[in-house]
Structure 1
Amino acid sequence: MVQGRGGFRLSLFGYLPAADHDQLLKDASGRRVNLVHPENSLFLLKATGQVPHEGGMRTGVGSYEYQILRNWVAAGAPFDSVNNSHVKEMIVSPARFTGKPKEHFTLKVEVVFRDGSREDITALCVFESNNREVAEVDARGHVSVVGVGDAAIVIRYPGQVGMALVVVMPEKIENSFPEVKEHNFIDKHILARLRLLGIQPSELCDDATFLRRVYLDVTGALPTPDEVRAFLADKDPEKRSKKIEALLGHPDHAALWATKFMDILRLSSFHAPGFPPQVHHEYRAYEWLRARLKENIPYDQLVERILTATSREGRSLEEWAEEAVKIVLEEVEGKAPTTYAARKTLDLFWQRRMESDVDHAIRVGHAFLGLRLQCAQCHRHPNDVWTQDDLLSFANFFMRIPHYNGLAAPRAKASQEVVALALQKAKGLPPKAQGLLKGQLGDGEIWVLTRKDLDGPGMKNGRSFFNSGQKATGYAIVTSPLGTQTSKTLRFLGEREPIAEPPDGVDRRQLVMDWLRRPDNPFFAKAIVNRVWEHYFGRGLIDPVDDLSPLNPPSHPELLQELCAGFIRNGYDLRWLHRTILCSRTYQQSSVTNDSNRHDRRNFASFYLRRLPAEVLLDCFDQVVGIRSVPGEKVPPGMPAGIRLLEGGAIFHRKDTDTAFALEAFGRPKRDVEVVCDCERENQANMLQALYFANHPAVRKKLKDPRNRLSEILKKYPTEAERITEIFLLTLSRMPSDQELHLAQEFLKQTHDTLEGYRSLIWSLVNSNEFIFNH
């Protein structure tokens, strides 16, 4: 309840109708409602300004709202059945409008209630346009078309969201739409919208541009000069699709997407604030993800192995102890964590630092459903649809999983028996390994709590870490400025009815997994399909990609639906999804715009320029110069030799080193578990990034290092033209134009030091937008 003047309290957005009814009729001796003379009711007199109050006039006598409230009082101010007043369906007409600038139309909104009654509630709705440059809407649903393009009119009614799509064509299309060959169904949807809007798509990109683009997007690396030459010389009309297939099977594709999933899952922060980060925990999680993606297991199975993870995985304590010894030994020896990567499940997802189990629900919603639930901890946000009860009823699925919390004392931990077993097996190992083993096993075990666990020590206020001997309910609870609220039901997000409590010992998370797999799940497939689309185009079909709210409609709903249906039909095969997008003409079109699509940012009429992600960009520079570290640079302890930043190397660069500075400058996220947003990774260009490649000492050292690739080029190629061509292929993945070749040769003639001249040429190319951006 929200505190008002004079003790008058109503629930936020009418969330508690029974309590609101009591406030109006019974609080303050019932002075707010006059059942004998309804028009003299105090709440009507104040709202219409007939009695002065600080809120001012809110409506007029005789208005639509006034008549509803007055008639309700005249009928005795009844409390209608809450069940019957639930809305079954919202009907918006017209649901789709296609027209031209300066046209007008009015929306009509009706609802069907649970009891079957139907009512026009247009005047009670809130209308908002998501693109006011195309369409504007007033409080009564009257839409004015103002520009060419598309817009969604979002309609809000308590507990309901509707939408009307507006597509506005130009008054006159000057040029006929070009004959464009569709590669697959993606192009059918994209081209249909462009044709309707009179926007001409860009041409297909050339082979060199395609090759560089697809290498960077699929593997996070540049093609070698020999690969560029071979691709340009290949006359096979199917060479693009064959190259896509080969790259999707390349180990670097798994490395790239393991990095992306680390961002999405926020697999960091394994200790409380102020504690040193557990780098090896993060690296183990990365290697586990990379192994699964290399296997190309179906996406639903990947999520299941994360969502339903346990530490023992049904094995004996002895087997788990043996695994723990091998994991620690690999860490001490600076090897990749192949033992952890071979595990079936990723229990590290549940090992992260958390404040409460409600946080689990928020992070599961963000990672696997593309939803922003954090505001629902306190209230129902006016710009979203989720309530506290929605969040808490969903959080109850995760309340039986104990997790590590650095502030808990004693904390959720592995049993003394398994620690003793592991230490016994570790006899003969270095003392450091034994110390790590004891500490890491003590960090926690993930398992499913039973009723017996809940009744014993380890639960307090619904939290499932071991910090109290008090009994607890095992249900989610939150406390906010609006009070304390709990839920004792299990209900999936977006569904009205709760499900039955499963028997004791049943992993409630499996129920969530079964719900995610349902073909009619409104979020699961859509969230990952939208994120993969955003990876290749720089914006999602729903944008931002982690806001799959009904208030944030997709730009191309039919395309998104068909992609999701195909993804599910193909067994949640991620490579099918990547392949389908990459083979489309939409992905393969040029970034060079024409007069009609120059300002397009929503309809994918051209390939949108994107700055390379931090790890990819820095790895590409190292690929150009041929070295990863300079003499005297310290290698982070425990980092396996020779790994690229994209291969997990970035995880080890936590301290204030040149690499750490560069990663931060180019937007690599910290993966802070408290930040539930894809926006933590920053891909926008800024001045600091430009200055880094232009002036940073680490860049200059690598360019001057005698071990770098320039020495090989000067030895291998005798002529100036050959050397310049090789440098262009190495940096920009294309041949130089005749003009570029001439300018480079003229520049080299003016330099007193030939070696320094070639270094300057490489320096100029890596500082170009063509190198830093994917085009």
Structure 2
Amino acid sequence: MRPAVGVLAGLAIWCLAYPFGLWVPAEESPANRESRARTSAQPAHTQCCCQSPAELAAVIDALVAQKWKEEEVQPAALAEDAEFLRRVYLDLVGRIPSVAEARAFLDHRAANKRAELVRQLLQSHAFLNHWSAILAETWLSGSDNAFLLGSWRAMVQSWLRDHLRRGSGYDKIVRELLTAHTTQQPVAAQPAALLQVQATPTAFYQAYGFNPRNLAASVSRQFLGIQLDCAECHNHPFARWKRQQFWELAAFFSGFERRVNGRVFYSAAENPQQRSLVIPDTNVTATARFLDGTEPDWNTAEFTRAALADWLVSPKNPYFAKAAANRVWYQLMGYGIVDPPDDMHEENPPSHPELLETLAHSFAGADFDLRFLLEAICLSRPYQLSSERSSSGSEAQPRLFARRVVRRLTAAQLWDSLVEAAYWHPSESRVGAAPNPLMQRSPNPLTQRRAAFLEKFRDSASRPVEAETSVLQVLALMHGEAAGSAVRLETSPMLQMVTSYPMWNEEQRLEVLFLAALARRPQPHEQQRFLRHIEQSANKTSAWADVFWVLLNSPEFISNH
């Protein structure tokens, strides 16, 4: 626990001095000027299939800038290097950079250092862990089995991680998911059996209970961007979808017959040629049919679900590529081009139709390479804009993407960033580190603490684009065991290093804490205020712990901006 509130009051006021604790941007860097020049030189583009991430980034810049011009919106300035650095680490690898990583990037003078960093992160093991977790969390978000959801999510994540490591295209991954064999024996419902997580897509079906209705709802939302389950009991109130169409999609999963193995885990027998079901509470039979109204060629289909998988990822399906590209854009930008990303219909049109078409065509043209799309968006000007509000006080609609949306950190980002800031286990959190945390054979105390922390902070149902955090979460962070350990000398390697390294002066110690927590160096007024606190304190070690506590509990630390 930290000292009484009064001891920290002066320092805590610093946290509120700026919106979300952000600093005033300094002179524009060479990288920023290059990006701005590139954007201004680009004419408006028509729908195209871009061959490289840089080419796609330029088209993104032009199309979004064209919308700004039409709406008479003045975009924010480009983010400074420190702001971009922290943002791209959180978005691509799920944590803030280490002190060494932050210092290396900020001191690097190359004009293309942002592009180099993006490519480095996309090839890291941390990227595999973070983005496999994002996909698994999203795909299983509709499951109502809270008791076993964590185990099933870990199984799907491990399977996804292996696919991302091999560079599998998103379409290939989804096709394998939809054609997965589901008759394998699940792991026993014993904690020891879960220490080494199975990498299997079968857990996706287990999470939804092998229920055709649940599977149809999830597949339509995640892979088609359509809330087709709104038509489960009646025709969709806003879109053109009919109840019959929902159950025709569900009929692709009608071959499952769930059976209980023991008392907890489920597997299913399946008649792979079953292709119809009776709509509940009716005498109407629904036969498997695609959403475009066409029927599968049953003479060539390997089995029922395979027919759906082939159509879903094929160019004949007008929804898949757009839904996937829009979902990735949403994940990086805070809002989708169609928003929410699982509700595409004629009454909810895209904010930038041509941009969505271009993203979808380019993603498909790159064999649905997820890294290709992520790199292009991260290199674009809209992604790199500052989160600073306009000095005029006017604010554009967030879906114009004229300013970076401030988002609170997810539970996983918050924990992993605390771990990095405190330097608890640097060997496992470096960008180049290799271990897969899902496959460890023995329980790790830090892993167990992470799981408990995630349960306290997890809120998968809400959009993390607001800076506000619940009272419970604030109290858990400011007075909880995790933050307490991070600023306690005996449990914080970072604090031990800062207070004991003999070659550093006070300014250097403060710089290290700022880089550790906020991935930037202190501004002159911040340095003056914090060093005054150190100078006036009788117990220097406790004073440095106070400083670190304030930084870790600042809005700047707990938000992605």
Q: In the TM superposition, what is the alpha-carbon distance from 1:558 to its structure 2 partner?
A: 0.4
1:502 CA displacement: 4.7
In the alignment, what sits opposite 1:492?
Answer: 290
For 2:266, which of 417, 429, 443 is the aligned residue?
A: 443
Shift of 1:644: 7.0
- 2:194 and 2:293 map into 1 onto residues whose CA distance is 51
- State the one-letter code of the partner of 2:287: T
State the partner residue of 1:300: 171
Partner letter of residue 580 of structure 1?
A
Aligned to 1:92: none
Task: Please state if 1:605 is matched with 2:460.
Answer: no
Out of 365, 368, 372, the position equivalent to 1:569 is 365
CA contact (8 A) 1:299 1:574 kept: yes
Q: Select which of 313, 332, 335 maps to 1:517.
A: 313
Matched, 1:587 2:383: yes
Whole-angstrom distance in 2 between the partners of 1:199 and 1:492: 41
**Does the 8 A contact of 1:268 with 1:282 survive in 2?**
no
What residue number does 2:255 align with?
Answer: 400
Higher relative contact order at CA 8 Å, sep ≥6: structure 1 or structure 2? 2
Give 1:229-378 correspondences, 5 Å limit. Answer: 229-266=103-140, 277=148, 279-311=150-182, 332=192, 335-337=195-197, 340-341=198-199, 346-354=201-209, 356-378=211-233
Quote the offset at 1:296 in angstroms. Answer: 2.2
Higher mean displacement: 715-724 or 610-619: 715-724
Q: Distance in 2 between matches of 1:705 and 1:186?
A: 47
> What residue identity is the alignment partner of 2:538?
H
SS at match of 1:476: strand
Counting matched residue pairs gives 494
Q: Please name the residue that 2:513 is paired with.
A: 727
Following the alignment from structure 1 to structure 2, what is the Cα–Cα distance between the partners of residues 353 and 598? Answer: 41
Query: One-letter code of the match for 1:443?
Result: Y
The Cα of 1:278 is off from its aligned counterpart by 6.8
| Alpha carbons 2:39, 2:62 under 8 Å: kept | no
Letter in 2 for 1:555: S
RMSD over aligned CA atoms reads: 3.2
Higher deviation after alignment, 183-192 or 694-703: 694-703
2:175, 2:310 within 8 Å by CA — same for their partners in 1? no
Superposed, 1:683-722 pairs within 5 Å as 685-708=469-492, 709-716=494-501, 717-722=503-508
- Write out aligned runs for 1:61-100 (5 A): none
Q: What residue in structure 2 maps to residue 60 of structure 1?
A: none
SS at match of 1:444: strand
| Cα shift at 1:546 | 1.1
Whether contact under 8 Å (2:485, 2:491) holds in the other structure is no
Amino acid at match of 1:751: S
Give me the whole-angstrom Cα distance separating, in 2, the residues matched to 1:642 and 1:353.
29
Amino acid at match of 1:352: A
Query: Aligned partners of 2:236, 2:256: CA distance in 1, in Å?
Result: 28
Residue 547, structure 1, aligned to residue 339, structure 2: no
Partner of 1:537: 333
TM-fit CA distance, 1:234: 1.4
TM-score (norm 1): 0.59
Per the alignment, residue 277 of structure 2 pairs with 476
Q: What is the Cα deviation at residue 375 of structure 1?
A: 2.4
Q: Deviation at 1:529?
A: 0.9
Spell out, residue by residue over 1:297-318, the C-alpha distance to the aligned partner (whole angstroms, 9 max, x if none). 1001100111110046xxxxxx
Pairwise CA distance, 1:181: 5.3
Deviation per CA, 1:703-727: give whole Å up to 9, x if none: 2250312012222253111110100
Matches within 5 A, 1:93-242: 180=40, 184-242=58-116
Q: 1:353 to 1:360 in 2, by over 3 A?
A: closer
Change in 2 beyond 3 A, CA 1:642/1:581: farther
TM-score of the pair, normalised by structure 2: 0.80
Structure 1 contact 372–546 (Cα < 8 Å) conserved: yes
Q: 1:522 to 1:723 in 2, by over 3 A?
A: same
- Correspondence list, 1:657-696, <5 A: 659=452, 662-669=453-460, 679=462, 685-696=469-480
Q: Corresponding residue for 2:413?
A: 616
Cα deviation, residue 448, structure 1: 4.2
- Alpha-carbon contact 1:624-1:731 (below 8 Å) kept: yes
Summarize deviations over 1:547-601 as a string: whole Å, max 9, x none.
1122211100000000000001111111111011011111112112333863432
Assess if the C-alpha contact under 8 Å between 2:169 and 2:367 holds in 1: yes
Secondary structure of 2:164's counterpart equals helix
Counterpart for residue 3 of structure 1: none
Indicate the residue corresponding to 1:109 in structure 2: none
Ranges in structure 2 where 5+ consecutive residues have no aligned partner: 1-36, 43-56, 426-439
Q: Secondary structure at the match of 1:443?
A: strand
Deviation, 1:217, is: 0.7
Shift of 1:365: 0.9
Q: Deviations over 1:66-124 (max 9, x none)?
A: xxxxxxxxxxxxxxxxxxxxxxxxxxxxxxxxxxxxxxxxxxxxxxxxxxxxxxxxxxx
1:332 maps to amino acid: A
Shift of 1:750: 2.4
Deviations 1:146-165 (A, max 9, x none): xxxxxxxxxxxxxxxxxxxx
Instruction: Tell me by how many angstroms 1:445 deviates.
Output: 4.5
Change (3 A) 1:499 1:698: closer
Amino acid at match of 1:377: E
**Do the aligned residues in 2 keep the contact of 1:727 with 1:762 (CA within 8 Å)?**
yes
Give the structure with the higher percent helix. 2
Alpha-carbon distance between aligned partners in 1 of 2:216 and 2:149, rounded to the nearest angstrom: 23
**Alignment CA distance shift 1:514-1:742 (3 Å):** same
1:29-56 deviation digits (Å, cap 9, x = unpaired): xxxxxxxxxxxxxxxxxxxxxxxxxxxx
Partner of 2:556: 770
Q: For residue 36 of structure 1, what is the aligned residue in structure 2?
A: none
Deviation of 1:335 after TM superposition, in Å, equals 4.5
Offset, 1:252 = 1.2
Q: Note the C-alpha offset of 1:688.
A: 2.9
| Kept after mapping to 2: 8 A contact 1:203/1:590 | yes
In 2, the alpha carbon distance for the partners of 1:196 and 1:611 equals 31
Contact kept in structure 2, 1:201 and 1:597, CA below 8 Å: no
Structure 1 residue 383: Cα displacement: 2.0
Q: 2:489 touches 2:545 (CA, 8 Å); kept in 1? A: no
Kindly, what percent of the aligned residue pairs are identical? 29
More strand by share: 1
Tell me, in whole angstroms, the C-alpha distance in 1 between the residues paired with 2:464 and 2:504. Answer: 44
> For the pair shown, which has the larger CA radius of gyration, 1 or 2?
1
1:199/1:596 contact within 8 Å kept: no
CA shift in 2, pair 1:334/1:450, >3 Å:
closer
Deviations 1:591-645 (A, max 9, x none): 12333863432211111111111111122122222338xxxxxxxxx98445976
Instruction: Check whether the contact 1:619–1:644 (CA below 8 A) recurs between aligned residues.
Output: no
- Tell me the equivalent position of 1:557: 353
Equivalent position of 2:544 in the other structure: 758
Query: 1:351 touches 1:446 (CA, 8 Å); kept in 2?
Result: no
